[in-house]
């Protein structure tokens, strides 16, 4: 298939037909001009035959018109010849080879072709620049897409690893080891979902003695949560949740998150509901976390749902299993 982008446009074709005969004194010289551009005998056969049979039947302008038309008709196959022919014209300098009466006109037409070619080349360069910019933008979008896919893959792998570590705790027979490992396992889950987390937060006395230990601190939107995690065999009662409430009250503007392997007693729920008048506190079970990981849910959205329930419905424990 021919590509029209490489053909002589009509304006340039007409200029070449008008100019080349002026650069050559004879019809034979005109044919030689085209042969000098590597136009093959096969391409020139029809014109050459007319010239050989009856020279009076064809003039220089007709020779140029027919041969240039032939070059255009052959399309991409004659691209090199067309370029060479055009180069011979725009670089033509020896006007002594022209008839004296044609010199000024020939110089003017060559200058016109030079301007035409320069304009075309300018558009070509601009087009190439646009193509380059488009290609660069496309490459940038592709790199961004690949980076996004890589980030998604890395996050999924991180979540899968955190999930495996948490689920492995259910096979740990030692309750003390299991409870201690729970803090790290859940911190890994938070981190896998992009939630800033500080593990095993401690406050010390001036003498360096441990005054207070908190399982973790996380941030979701504008809320900072002190996190307490328990893996007990019984439901959490007022005594257990009150300790966490006391830590929250010591820090203005801080919210609380309590995660329990089991549920919460009615008395504990009532205490937490009353506490909502003073500060944000949300309760969660390990079963909810496991359910979220199994369905590959959104942990940030999960926490926001609980926050909304606590603020709007005064329910510190809004169970989210689906």
> Which pLDDT value is given to residue 121?
57
> Which pLDDT value is given to residue 47?
92
Question: For every one of its 322 residues, what pLDDT tens digit does the chain have, with 9 covering 90 and above?
Answer: 344 444 678 888 899 999 999 999 999 999 999 999 999 999 999 999 999 999 999 999 999 999 999 988 888 888 888 888 988 898 898 898 899 999 999 999 999 888 887 766 544 554 565 567 778 888 888 888 998 888 888 888 888 888 888 888 888 788 778 877 888 888 888 888 888 888 665 554 455 544 556 778 888 888 899 988 888 888 999 998 998 998 899 888 899 999 998 889 999 999 999 999 999 999 999 899 989 988 888 999 999 999 999 999 999 999 888 7
Give 163-166 contacts, CB < 8 A, sequence gap 24+. 163/189, 163/293, 166/289, 166/290, 166/293
> Which pLDDT value is given to residue 197?
81
> Which pLDDT value is given to residue 72?
86
Please give the Cα distance from 272 to 254 (Å, whole number).
15
Q: Where are the alpha helices (DSSP H) in the chain?
A: 10-23, 27-35, 41-53, 60-73, 79-90, 103-168, 175-192, 238-249, 266-275, 286-294, 299-313
Total Cβ atoms within 10 A of residue 5: 9
Asked if residue 187 lies in contact with residue 169, where contact means CB atoms within 8 angstroms, the answer is no
> Which pLDDT value is given to residue 136?
81
Going by C-alpha positions, the residue among 255, 278, 269, 247 that lies closest to residue 316 is 269
> Which pLDDT value is given to residue 132?
73
Q: How many residues does the chain have?
A: 322
pTM over 0.75: no
């Amino acid at each position: 298939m021919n590509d029209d982008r490489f053909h002589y446009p009509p304006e340039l074709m007409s200029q070449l037909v008008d100019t080349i005969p002026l650069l050559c004194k004879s019809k034979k010289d005109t044919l030689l001009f085209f042969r000098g551009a590597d136009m093959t005998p096969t391409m020139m056969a029809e014109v050459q035959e007319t010239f050989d049979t009856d020279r009076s039947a064809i003039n220089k302008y007709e020779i140029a018109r027919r041969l240039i038309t032939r070059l255009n008709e052959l399309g991409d196959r004659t691209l090199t010849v067309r370029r060479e022919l055009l180069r011979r014209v725009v670089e033509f300098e020896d006007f002594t080879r022209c008839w004296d009466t044609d010199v000024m006109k020939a110089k003017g037409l060559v200058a016109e072709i030079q301007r035409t070619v320069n304009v075309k080349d300018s558009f070509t360069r601009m087009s190439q620049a646009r193509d380059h910019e488009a290609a660069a933008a496309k490459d940038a979008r592709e790199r961004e897409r690949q980076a996004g896919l890589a980030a998604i893959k890395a996050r999924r792998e991180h979540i899968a690893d955190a999930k495996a570590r948490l689920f492995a705790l259910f096979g740990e027979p030692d309750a003390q080891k299991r409870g201690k490992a729970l803090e790290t396992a859940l911190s890994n889950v938070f981190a896998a979902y992009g939630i800033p987390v500080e593990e095993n937060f401690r406050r010390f006395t001036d003498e360096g003695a441990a005054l207070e230990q908190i399982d973790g601190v996380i941030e979701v939107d504008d809320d900072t949560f002190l996190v307490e995690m328990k893996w007990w065999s019984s439901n959490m009662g007022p005594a257990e949740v009150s300790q966490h409430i006391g830590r929250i009250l010591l820090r203005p503007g801080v919210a609380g998150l309590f995660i329990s392997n089991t549920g919460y007693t009615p008395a504990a729920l009532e205490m937490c509901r009353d506490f909502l008048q003073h500060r944000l506190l949300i309760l969660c079970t390990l079963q909810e976390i496991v359910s979220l990981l199994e369905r590959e849910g959104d942990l940030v959205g999960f926490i926001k749902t609980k926050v909304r329930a606590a603020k709007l419905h005064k329910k510190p424990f809004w169970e989210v299993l689906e």
